Amino acid sequence: MELDLTGLCCAVPQLTLHSALRKLGYGEELKIRTDDRTIIERDIIPLLINFNVEYKIIIEGDSYLVTGIKRIPPI
């Protein structure tokens, strides 16, 4: 699944990502593109942690690519 959150602000990135994470199955990959580091720190990372998504952040010039895979919750 891919999300382009470039140029979005306020609650839109968080709501969009939350909806996508609810639909994401275990083992599926998610790619998120944004141009706002604050959104990554304030919205994206906390949601990925909450939904048990292992992630990495790649800086591509003036934009960021966050990739992640949803893991099965620990027993």
What residues does 24 pair with on adjacent strands? none
Domain of residue 29: give its range. 2-70
Residue 44 belongs to a domain: yes
Residue 75 belongs to a domain: no
Domain CATH for 35: 3.30.110.40
Distance CA 69, CA 53 (A): 5
What confidence score (pLDDT) does residue 9 get?
A: 84
What confidence score (pLDDT) does residue 24 get?
A: 95
What confidence score (pLDDT) does residue 41 get?
A: 94
What confidence score (pLDDT) does residue 57 get?
A: 97
Retrieve residue 36's tokens.
């706002």
Based on the structure, what is the number of domains in the chain? 1
With contact defined as beta carbons under 8 Å apart, do 53 and 73 qualify? no
Residue 51 belongs to a domain: yes
Q: What is the pTM of this model?
A: 0.89
pLDDT tens by residue, the chain, 75 residues = 999 999 998 899 999 999 999 999 999 999 999 999 999 999 999 999 999 999 999 999 999 999 999 998 777
